[in-house]
Structure 1
């Protein structure tokens, strides 16, 4: 029988413009120490660690963790493109729920180059996303410059043609996330922008303008996971957030065979993972109070509303116009500011999403707190491809109340 898994400590650095916060061993160490302090445990309690980053030498995780303790534990180094951080969470959760260990550390970090993501760092071999690139070239003319805004910009154009979505809908998403990010002191961008300012910023591709694209970032996030026995043994019920369920999916044949930009950008992966998750947990989309969603571009947030079944197919525009995606609406999406405002250090993003949702469920999110948040969803996507979708809730909701009696 699978065991329950809980997050008992989280840490996150302020995400920042590349090259402005030192080297990765320093800021990644900061995130781990914050997570340990949050959980109130020492590093020697950790039995195994998973380190997540998309660029760097193969034992960069050891380079960080050796500063904190050299306890001889297994340390894994994971890379799954932009879903790297949550892939690390997925692996650590499986180690605990399968009874192999009781306590795991997951660390995600990235030190990035300035500017838009470039092509492969290994030009002497086949590109990992080569089939995706070839499929996009079959569907449209690929323009010079970065490919990622073309994947997601084309997905947005397809949605506009099919359902009547407008550029204003995408701009409203970006304005919402910048507005949310203005309340997050750990976000890279803390300035709010109007819809008009978003629309008038520099054009990148299709409906996407600069303020609708996530920036490159340096930063780190960390989480400590425990079994139920370990939570009780360490008296951490007041901190524990249960991972109700977590699903990873990769591309299916439809990604390449159905000649759809939305599917090429991960729509079917997300739908498959979320349907599995809802079926296994018994949670429905209408029960979700807060979501951290992979808004690498505003177009992706819009199509993901539908693939997560937060609204019906073709109804994302109506969902946005009604304010259903923010405070006072059906569900608050990206209270942290999302990738667009918070930033996107690739390996750290999944851990930052986990940290935000834990703070929300504990009632520790300050000015961006979602009222009465009980069920939280995480969505982290990587082209190439992989997606992780997870559901969280407070692990011992009556513990604090009982401890005061």
Structure 2
């Protein structure tokens, strides 16, 4: 298998659902930004994997035809909240196999307001088996979504609600420095604890908001990197593993209902493949859909010993000045969670961190970066990144996209669009 490198990233601001933008407009913006970041046009893209959860068939084509109808393979996928990273795994796998030299992973979402609910009520629920186990063991709360109950029950197993509030306080504080975050307000620990209780021990400020947004990543082979002079900005995907649930999901352990075992498997495989340990990592983007999931994921990823996740919080080793910086972007809790885009936004943040572009949220001395993106039902993707070389690089744009969120211009679009196949330009620019 060949080495694979991230050479271009881009994302939109994450915004409240149904605000002002359509999915094809947001998807185009993210794709254009990633292409311009890589300094290539859509003609160089040989394969595209497009992720979204809420949308009709072939939405990926609807987005990408705006850049040109080049007849490349376009795959659409839905893997719940891990959809964006699953698209990235697909794109990087196609490059690693030698099938293509340049691929695009694109994720976008336009969501309904309020808590996530089932769309299809006339067929079996994919989460039905674990929900049945949970409801029999813990009862059912008619006011809370099943996902909130799964993660809330996992939080109850850790027995100290304050640790969950401390995680939320950290992530809200981090988000204040991220121009792409849906929410950038900073809250005290007491404000988080005293916000409305949604499902004990989870208060409103410990739960991610539904969001609209898009993210895109260009991956390429080493030959492509050298041919296009991208060595200084390339970030290598040292390892990327996808895993699904084990039978532990149906056990009596509420932490396992939240997919902890598939995280353990993917993380162990990723670290083995990368040839490093969790102690070598400096920065982590972790799937904190609820503060409880961040807590139980610390030891599932190996950042702490089993059952000792709380020590990472008590010691301050999950934020700036500590051993790891977890969710410098603000995480899902503050940045937002447009399901198809989330994993690609995580990758984008880590690439900016690896390049040293992140401004006043920059993590010092980044050598290795770790990404965790989980979807119930279930699937998890764990990725480990390292900058290809230690040389500095500067943004190709007139501004630093890591610290300033701008929409694209017609000039940006024209740089990225196909030069051989006429695009269908119907999105707002």
Verify same fold: TM over 0.5: yes
Aligned mate of 1:133, from 131, 134, 138: 131
Structure-1-length-normalised TM-score: 0.96
CA distance in 1 between counterparts of 2:282 and 2:13 reads 25
CA distance in 2 between counterparts of 1:228 and 1:399 reads 19
**Are 1:315 and 2:308 an aligned pair?**
yes
2:63 corresponds to:
64
Structure 1 residue 140, shift from structure 2 partner: 1.0
Structure 1 residue 267, shift from structure 2 partner: 0.6
2:331 corresponds to:
338
Deviations 1:197-241 (A, max 9, x none): 100100011110000000000000000000000000011111100
The 5-angstrom pairing of residues 8-27 of structure 1 reads 8-27=7-26
Q: Is the 8 A contact 1:81 1:384 kept in 2?
A: yes
Question: How much is the aligned-residue C-alpha RMSD, in angstroms?
Answer: 1.1
Number of residue equivalences = 393
1:255 corresponds to:
249
Q: Is the 8 A contact 1:62 1:75 kept in 2?
A: yes
Deviations 1:134-178 (A, max 9, x none): 111121101103111100000010122xxxxx1111000000000
Structure 1 residue 21, shift from structure 2 partner: 3.0
1:395 corresponds to:
388
Structure 1 residue 183, shift from structure 2 partner: 0.4
Q: 1:400 to 1:202 in 2, by over 3 A?
A: closer
The 5-angstrom pairing of residues 5-404 of structure 1 reads 5-118=4-117, 120-145=118-143, 146-160=145-159, 166-256=160-250, 258-398=251-391
Structure 1 residue 129, shift from structure 2 partner: 1.1
Structure 1 residue 106, shift from structure 2 partner: 0.5
CA distance in 1 between counterparts of 2:323 and 2:64 reads 41
Q: Is the 8 A contact 2:355 2:393 kept in 1?
A: no
CA distance in 1 between counterparts of 2:273 and 2:30 reads 32
Structure 1 residue 396, shift from structure 2 partner: 2.3
Please state whether the residue corresponding to 2:174 is helix, strand or coil.
helix
Q: Is the 8 A contact 1:237 1:399 kept in 2?
A: no
Please state whether the residue corresponding to 1:193 is helix, strand or coil.
coil
Please state whether the residue corresponding to 2:316 is helix, strand or coil.
coil
Structure 1 residue 398, shift from structure 2 partner: 4.2
Structure 1 stretches of 4+ moved >4 Å: 398-401
Please state whether the residue corresponding to 1:242 is helix, strand or coil.
strand
Which runs of no fewer than 5 residues in structure 1 stay unpaired? Answer: 161-165
Please state whether the residue corresponding to 1:251 is helix, strand or coil.
coil
Which runs of no fewer than 5 residues in structure 2 stay unpaired? Answer: 395-429
CA distance in 2 between counterparts of 1:221 and 1:169 reads 31
Q: 1:27 to 1:399 in 2, by over 3 A?
A: closer
Q: 1:204 to 1:4 in 2, by over 3 A?
A: same
